Amino acid sequence: MASFGFSSNFSLVENRGHDAVDLRTLVAASKLLAHSLGLLKLYPGSKSWSLRAACSREVGTARAASEAATAVAVDDGIVREKERDGVLRVGVICGGPSAERGISMNSARSVIDHIQGEDLHVSCYYIDCDLNAYAISTAQVYSNTPADFDFKLESLAQGFRSLSDFAAHLAASVDIVFPVIHGQFGEDGGIQELLERYNIPFVGTGSSECCQAFDKYQASLELSKHGFVTVPSFLVQGCEANEAELEKWFERNQLDPMSGKVVVKPARAGSSIGVTVAYGTADSLKKASEIISEGIDEKVIVEIFLEGGNEFTAIVLDVGSGFDSHPVALLPTEVELQFRGNVDVREKDAIFNYRRKYLPTQQVAYHTPPRFPVDVIEDIRKGASLLFKRLGLRDFARIDGWFLPSKHLSSSKEVFGVTDYGTIVFTDINLISGMEQTSFLFQQASKVGFSHSNILRSIINHACLRFPDLASHKDLSGHLPRVDNSSKLAGTSRKLEKRHKIFIIFGGNTSERQVSLMSGTNVWLNLQAFDDLEVIPCLLAPSNQHSLGTVVNGEDFQLSSWAVWSLPYSLVLRHTTEEVLAACAEAIEPSRAALTSLLRKQVMSDLMEGLRKQKWFSGFDIADELPVKYSMEQWILHAKEVQATVFIAVHGGIGEDGTLQSLLENEGVPYTGPGVMASRTCMDKVSTSLSLSNLANLGVLTIKKEVWSKKDLLNVPILDVWQDVISKLQCESICIKPARDGCSTGVARLRCPEDLKVYIKALEEGLLRIPPNSFSKAHGMIEMPNPPPEFLIFEPFIETDEIIMSSKSKNENASHFMWEGRSRWVEITVGVIGKRGSMHSLSPSITVKETGDILSLEEKFQGGTGINLTPPPVSIMSDEALERCKQRIEVIANTLHLEGFSRIDAFVNVDTGEVLIIEVNTVPGMTPSTVLIHQALAEKPPVYPHEFFRTLLDLGSERFA
């Protein structure tokens, strides 16, 4: 979040053979240090960013203060920091060789966001696919995926000649390491072994215990030895597959060797990577062979499919002293897979895979605590804590498993997991649990009184207790950033009254509501950094008379159609808006609320048994508060009464078509983003094109469009529709998209009438998604708007030059991307920010489609996926063409009367800088992986997320002052 740590990341690196530190590096570092200390602030001026003093704003966590005490000295080729009294130096390491390295970056970003403070200094490190280590800036951690910057590492980061050199650097430069590498090298004991070899303190479990627990097959054997129920499994290793032995295993477990349903998964991979369902021995061996041939793992497990079970996951926190383990399981979460609408029959075999874990769709729902009997929940907590201790785990871990009602995998009463209600079985141990903003760690921690910062600092503090030199270190928990909704605990209600209230509203009823939840959550967490703000998250939801599938926007809008929920901390951290609503209903339902409160108190009591002995623990900081429901009218009047500014994070629908803006404006309530008319124009893609149609002589072009109603598409013969569209658009390949929707939902490339038939059938049947490879050419999953759009747009499909990203091996010196540049057009997305009439263009990002012709929902919004080249590499686009492009983007923004901030999607000619407009988003995505953050960080000096969102907020407040 902060620029704090940026300069030292460049200064705390090995010189790699040079006699002195690079002058440009030191100059850049000094500029960033000045910015991070609050001496300079970026603010949108008439045509460019100008600097102004920023002495009036209090940043609650004082992120940059510790940098003021930093000094550097060159010694034996390594630039070291001098000792700083009372400041703990933490090295966060992310990346790694596994497919989870993108998620690892998200986790690292979250850790950095929430632990920085005047008492703690963070340095960032990255391990690439080939196990090369780099000291990187925190700016790079905010990239969407490692591919965003892998090809620039040689010029942007300082590398180490070997892992040994890297470890030597860590030993000299940090007090403790926080590894957040998921999967291989992070959870299998690799990084831990390296740190142990050099006696470097680190957070988490030791190397040998990691190695044992990470291997699912070995862990299962160990659990069985310790008296736990385990899932019957068969090991396929390398090319030693024995079909006859596998058939015997099928028969022993009463499975048909021809069609018995099993799960096939790598023994040493995480996050459901490579996990699939198979039928019979032949299919099992085929799936196992594919996992091995793809290089995911050489050891593959075949295990019985747990039909009729309920999956759960539990975070275990160690609150003991030093090496005296005292693990306590938090409130577990039930994972419910959901099937809605007409889905492909293959979805019925669905598992909790990578996509369901990290992309917010209605395919999965979480329940914390689970909807299990109380005794079962307590047994899960007891078993997870016992497992944690017996396997020698440390600090924290996530343990997954299944509750099988009325089913017993063991007849022995002596085995742990056999209960009167069914069987509890633990299946997976995650040594470094995901730490994205709404991950299980933070969901479960907030339920029992921990904020993001409190739980992370508690984990670090506990790890320090194992090391005598750190055990007496200055307490960290006494410097927790302030969080909202905790006034009862903090006793600061008088101070809260003086702070400016900010209502962050997200949700809505469109297909973009889940992304809206991600955006609102991210803005809420970032703005909590400021002591002068009281930030309150608010969910916009249909009232009781309307469901999430009811269209109630535009001319049909009525105030009575909507409700707004003011949310306490723990209820925001959910996967979908439906979950948030369900959690609100549960929170005010007497019996469920009583059960949750009882379980919460029990967990807090268990935690305090250990925590009360720790001097550093200053208490829980999240109160057990209830949500408050308002009608839309009541909420707006409340905002007016308390003089709040509304930060709009509602994508699509009434949040982006001018309706919400109009309601707020009528009552004089300030809000962020463009005004009413600009919002209405940009929401309608046809109106947007018409408004810009006279700018061709300025190098701004528009795409011809044909609009069809859903009703006509369903009634006119397919071939007639196709011939009419391609005749009018004069093209052979077309792009279809909703007329008033966004975020890649319902956007597809159609090459023939048969493709159109598939798309129209999906509209008619109200499909939530079009399965991969349903059209004439291979493509990924296409999420569809829900409810289906009433109007759709046909456009010529614009062919752009393909950019191919490649992994660079150790012996390769070539660029990480390949681009032939035949058509000279590439797709870009770019943020604009400022006041009306003087909008400033950030540096565009070239968007890279990894699969298919259309950017997928994952590539736009799922952390750890999607590639954005920010700014465009000079090998693709010259500085002169880039500047002309930015000037035209500003012309577009000013012509549309944009203000505050927006995002413009377009095609650009890399030679001329001509811009072909696609669409304008007046409430763009503000998720942790949004390109707007990448682009703000590309400014000089870089603007970090908390300051970026504060600037957007101030632009909204000042406009109505």
Nearest to 938 by CA among 844, 805, 816: 844
Nearest to 625 by CA among 467, 447, 763: 447
Q: How many CA atoms lie within 13 A of 13 on its CB side?
A: 32
Window from 550-559, 668-677, 799-808 with minimum mean pLDDT: 550-559
Residue 834 vs residue 800, higher pLDDT: 834
Burial of 53 by CB count in 10 Å (0-12 exposed, 13-18 middle, 19+ buried)? exposed
Give the pLDDT band of residue 757 (cuts 50, 70, 90).
Answer: very high
Burial 850-863 (b: 16+ CB within 10 A, else e): bebbbbbbbbbbbb
Instruction: Give per-residue pLDDT as tens, 944-960.
Output: 999 999 999 999 999 88
Q: What is the secondary structure of 595-638 as a DSSP string?
A: HHHHHHHHHHHHHHHHHTT-TT-----------EEEEHHHHHHH
What average pLDDT does the segment 267-285 reach? 87
CA end-to-end span of the chain: 28
Task: Please determine, for residue 861, whether its predicted confidence score (pLDDT) is greater than 50.
Answer: no
Task: Please determine, for residue 780, whether its predicted confidence score (pLDDT) is greater than 70.
Answer: yes
Instruction: Give per-residue pLDDT as tens, 681-731.
Output: 999 999 999 999 999 999 999 999 999 999 999 999 999 999 999 999 999
Q: What is the secondary structure of 338-364 as a DSSP string?
A: ---SS--GGGGG----HHHHHS-STTE
Nearest to 102 by CA among 36, 53, 149, 60: 149
What average pLDDT does the segment 330-336 reach? 94
Instruction: Give per-residue pLDDT as tens, 174-190.
Output: 999 999 999 999 999 99
pLDDT value at position 529?
87
Window from 91-95, 424-428, 512-516, 647-651 with minimum mean pLDDT: 512-516
The Cα-based distances of 117 to 42, 174, 475 in angstroms read 22, 16, 12
The Cα-based distances of 384 to 187, 334, 588 in angstroms read 18, 14, 29
Q: What is the secondary structure of 146-160 as a DSSP string?
A: GGGTGGGHHHHSEE-
Give the pLDDT band of residue 816 (cuts 50, 70, 90).
Answer: low
Beta carbons within 10 angstroms of residue 222's beta carbon = 18
d(CA 743, CA 854): 11
d(CA 195, CA 201): 7
Residues contacting residue 102 through CB under 8 Å, at least 6 positions apart: 144, 145, 146, 863, 864, 865
Structure tokens at 552: 């109630």
CA 238-242-244 angle, to 5 degrees, is 165
d(CA 930, CA 924): 9
Q: Mapping DSSP to helix (H, G, I), strand (E, B) and coil, where does residue 18 land? A: coil
Q: Which helix H or strand E contains 207, and what residues bound it? A: helix 207-214
pLDDT value at position 740?
75
Residue listed under structure tokens 């009608």: 631
What average pLDDT does the segment 142-155 reach? 75
d(CA 128, CA 240): 31
Contact 834, 917 (CB under 8 A): no
What length is written for the chain? Answer: 961
Residue 646 CA to its chain's centroid (Å)? 24
Burial 457-493 (b: 16+ CB within 10 A, else e): bbbbbbbbbbbeebeebebbbebbbbbbbbbeeeeee
Nearest to 909 by CA among 729, 761, 701, 640: 701
Contact 474, 86 (CB under 8 A): yes
Torsion on CA atoms 378, 380, 381, 387, rounded to nearest 10? 140
- Is the N-terminal amide bond of 257 cis, ω within 30° of 0? no
Torsion on CA atoms 819, 821, 826, 832, rounded to nearest 10? 90
pTM for the model stands at 0.83
Nearest to 387 by CA among 419, 441, 352, 427: 427
Task: Please determine, for residue 676, whether its predicted confidence score (pLDDT) is greater than 70.
Answer: yes
d(CA 344, CA 731): 32
- Eight-class DSSP state of 228: B
- Eight-class DSSP state of 412: -
pLDDT value at position 741?
65
How do 838-841 and 845-848 pair as beta strands?
unpaired
d(CA 430, CA 183): 9
Residue 411 vs residue 206, higher pLDDT: 206
pLDDT value at position 269?
82
- Eight-class DSSP state of 823: S
Residue 428 CA to its chain's centroid (Å)? 22
- Eight-class DSSP state of 654: G
Contact 288, 299 (CB under 8 A): no
pLDDT value at position 920?
95
Instruction: Give per-residue pLDDT as tens, 487-546.
Output: 333 343 444 558 999 999 999 988 788 889 999 999 999 999 899 999 999 999 988 644
Q: What is the secondary structure of 238-282 as a DSSP string?
A: TT---HHHHHHHHHHTT--TTT-EEEEEESS--TTTT-EEEEHHH
